[in-house]
Amino acid sequence: MQALWGERRRIGLWRRLWLALMQGEKDLGLAIPDAALAQLRAHLDDADLEKAAEYERRLRHDVMAHIHHLGDQAPAARPFIHLGATSAFVTDNADLVLMREAMQLLLGRIGAVLVALGKVARRYRALPCLAYTHFQPAQLTTVGKRMTLWMQDFALDAEELLNRITTLRFRGVKGTTGTQASFLELFDGDHAKVAELDIRVSRAMRFDHVLPITGQTYTRKLDGQVLAVLSGIAQSAAKFATDLRLLQHEGELLEPFESEQVGSSAMPYKRNPMRAERMTSLARFVIELEGNAWHTAAAQWLERTLDDSANRRLVIPEAFLAADAILVLATNVAAGLEVREETIGEHIATAMPYLATERLLMRGVKAGGDRQQLHEVIRAQSLQGSNDLLDRLAHTPEFKQLGVRARAAELDPAAYVGRAPEQVDEFLDRVLPDLMRSIQAAAPAAATAEVQV
């Protein structure tokens, strides 16, 4: 991801855009010598960034600096480089190429998160654990079911990414105010050729869809849409990381801890959920960046103003870099999750008597008891703790008289998880495989996530 947003990659893209433009112009009839194209083609990846910077110090214009530097390297091409174009031709189109590739990278990363969480979900699909509402013990769920809460969020993000990747439109060849006037001039008023040039250059950069309408730039709404997806990923990751931090406090689920990792410089016994904490930290950053893109879209005047530029140069790469880091962390954490079955079991055991009282109440009423009266008995006894609760209840005059007491089967946690295991199956076997196939088709394989601590 870092290489993608580096200067070298960007300039390589500018040069490819100039090549595609020159090739299109020649093919559609402009008198451009073969040598110009050959020399340009020979210098796609060897820009000397220092020399371009020297030009920029004099010219105070980055695109013109690179045009001059390229002209030095490919003298036969010099007279034809950037012909009819405005800076946004290279800057905007390159940004679109980069954003699309970056989204493909993120898609692969989400795929890796889903695979890692999916393994844990499958392994613990039916392992009962406490479910919490208001962060207070509620009913039971399963460890695997909880994994699917997180997975489904990431899966929704993946669908958004897929949608953005396939529908992202190219800015194309539009000229200074988006009217293509300079190109109409070059082609002697031949509208068909100008329209064709737009399509050919876009295709050469592997975009099937071109924005039909632009000002000088592509509408900054596109940035907002893309940043919204990144923000969505950050939201999913923050929810996952926060849940993990809560559960690590409970001792039920722990993020990986290397054998020599130090938790605290002062408290050697500590085991902090620092990766999850870092995820929430970065997520907040990405979520906040999104607002920049919407404000930039809102703040554009007429055919273009330059108050987008400096902001976009920071916001877009930083959002992608941070989202990438979040997903690398998420994969690392998910692949190394430590499920403490024993602690989970202990917590359930404490809560089971409370959970069993609901069935006791139902059976008590069926046996002729007064629901309101029995409810009060249970409430009063529950306040004294779960220890011996069921025994104590059985010995209250109210329940004793009805002959109702807890049955062993009513204390089996598996009877309280509802359809949680089946929901895990349905998600893993019915929903996820199609999505994973789409991800694999659209994204390069994500590298194994190793966190640089």
Partner 1 sequence: MTGGVLVQSKLPLPLLRRGKVREVYEVDENTLLLVASDRVSAFDVVMREAVPYKGAVLTQLSAFWFDRLKSVMPHHLLTAEAAEIVTRVPVLGPHRDELHGRAMLTRRATTVPFECVVRGYISGSAWAEYQQSGTLAGEPMPQGLVESAQLDPPIFSPATKAEQGHDENVTFDDVVNALGRLTAERLRGASLALYEAGRDYAAKRGIIIADTKFEFGTTPQGELIVIDEILTPDSSRFWPADRYQAGHGQPSFDKQPLRDYLAGVKKQGAWNGESPPPPLPPAVVNATSERYRDAYRRITGSELE
- State in angstroms the smallest separation of the CB of 144 from partner 1: 8
Window 101-130: residues binding partner 1 (CB under 8 A)? 118-119, 122-127
- State in angstroms the smallest separation of the CB of 358 from partner 1: 24
- State in angstroms the smallest separation of the CB of 346 from partner 1: 16
Q: Which is nearer to partner 1, 338 or 376 (CB)?
A: 338
DSSP code per residue over 360-371: HHHHHHHTT--H
Q: Which is nearer to partner 1, 120 or 319 (CB)?
A: 120
Q: Which is nearer to partner 1, 120 or 186 (CB)?
A: 120
- For residue 129, the cross-strand partners are 141
Q: Which is nearer to partner 1, 1 or 140 (CB)?
A: 140
| DSSP structure class, residue 411 | G
Percentages (nearest 5) of helix, strand, coil residues in the chain: 65, 5, 30
Per CB under 8 A, 345 contacts partner 1: no
Place of tokens 């907002």: 224
- State in angstroms the smallest separation of the CB of 411 from partner 1: 17
* Alpha helix (H) residue ranges in 143-273: 143-167, 181-186, 191-204, 221-250
Cα–Cα dist 335/120, whole Å: 8
Backbone φ, ψ for residue 28 (5° rounding): -90, 10
Window 369-428: residues binding partner 1 (CB under 8 A)? 425, 428
Interacting span for partner 1 (CB under 8 A) from 96-104, 137-145, 246-254, 263-271: 137-145
Cα–Cα dist 9/314, whole Å: 16
Window 139-158: residues binding partner 1 (CB under 8 A)? 142-144
Q: Which is nearer to partner 1, 45 or 429 (CB)?
A: 429
Rounded to 10 degrees, what is the CA torsion of 242, 243, 247, 248? -30
Q: Which residues are catalytic?
A: 134, 264
- State in angstroms the smallest separation of the CB of 429 from partner 1: 4
Window 54-93: residues binding partner 1 (CB under 8 A)? none
CA proximity to 327, closest of 117, 112, 103: 112
Tokens of 293: 């893109």
Catalog residues that contact partner 1 under the rule CB under 8 A.
Answer: 118-119, 122-127, 142-144, 425, 428-430, 433
